[in-house]
Copies of this chain bind each other. A is one copy, B any other.
Amino acid sequence: MGHTQDARAFQEIRDTTLEQLAIFEDLDPETRQDVVSLATPRRLKEGDQLFRQGERATDFFVMLEGYARLQRMTEQGEQIVFHHVSPGQLFGISKVTESATYAVTCRAATDCLILVWPAHQWERVVAAHPGFARHARHTMGARMRELADRVVDMTTRSVEQRIASTLLRLTSDAGRRTTAGVEIAFPVTRQDIAETTGATMHSVSRIMSKWQRAGYVTSSRRKVVLREPDMLSEIAASAA
C-alpha cells in the first residue's frame, strides 16, 4: 500500500484499464493522460471508509476496481444503503450539486482501486475534458432516478418485491456468470440487503430461505447467486 505499490498500480492503470473506461472513451490518449495525471491512485481495504456524510468534499473519484457502498447513518445508528459503486463509475461528485460536503458515506464493499482528484482541480479537468462534466451530470441524473424509483418502491411494493428487484439490480450492475447462475460480485450479507431494501434482516432471511427452498437462489455466507432470475423478475413485477 506504500508508494511503490501505488506507482506500480498506476503504471498498470495507464497501460490497460483507462482506455476502456466509458468516461474517457472520447478522449485522445494525450488529453486522457493529462486528466489522469492530475489524479492519484489509491487502494482501499474492504470496510475502509473513503469519506463520510457531512465531511468537507475535498476530492472526487473514479472507481477502477472493486465495489463500494454509498450509505447514510441515522441518529439511531441505522444504516441505509443508497447505491453500489461499480468499476468505471464516477462518485463523490458534490461539485455537480454545488455542495461543499459529501451527501453520503462511502465504504468499500471489497478491496478497491480508485483514482482520486483533488476537488480544486475540478474546473481544470472539466475544461480539458468537457465530456467529464457531461458524464458527471449524467451520473447524477441516474442517481436521482434511482432514488425516485426507490421512493416509489417503498410506497407501493411489498418487502418481497423490493428484495427481488434489488437482487436483480445488483446482478445487472455487478453480476458475474457462473455455472450455477449469476453471482453478485461482492460480499453481500442479509443485513446489507435489509439496508438497501428498507426491511429487517429477519424478513430478508425468511424470504431468501423460501427462495432457496424453491431453487430460485443459492446463498451462503455473504454470497448470493441467482439461479432463476426470471422467477425473481416475475415476483418483482407481480401485481400483488
Contacts and interface: CB of A to CB of B under 8 A. Distances in A.
Given A76-B156, A103-B145, A151 B97 contact: no
Interface stretch (A8-16, A24-32, A136-144, A184-192): A136-144
Contacts of A147: 144, 147-148, 151
Contacts of A104: 148
Contacts of A142: 97
A84 interface: no
A80 B97 CA distance: 24
A52 interface: no
B156 A78 contact: yes
Contacts of A140: 96-97, 140, 144
12 contacts: A72-B152, A74-B152, A94-B141, A96-B140, A96-B141, A97-B137, A97-B141, A103-B148, A144-B144, A144-B147, A150-B151, A151-B151
Contacts of A137: 96-98
Given A80-B156, A98-B141, 20 more contacts: A74-B156, A76-B156, A76-B239, A80-B152, A80-B155, A82-B148, A94-B141, A97-B142, A99-B141, A103-B141, A103-B148, A104-B148, A140-B140, A143-B144, A147-B148, A150-B151, A151-B154, A151-B198, A154-B198, A155-B198
Given A103-B145, A144-B143, A145-B103, A98 B138 contact: yes
A129 B80 CA distance: 38
Contacts of A148: 72, 82, 103-104, 147
Contacts of A141: 94, 96-99, 103
A150 B152 CA distance: 11
A124 to B, nearest CB: 17
A222 B235 CA distance: 38
Nearest to A70: B148
A45 interface: no
A120 interface: no
Given A72-B148, A144-B140, A144-B143, A98 B154 contact: no
A75 to B, nearest CB: 9
Interface in A72-97: 72, 74, 76, 78, 80, 82, 94, 96-97
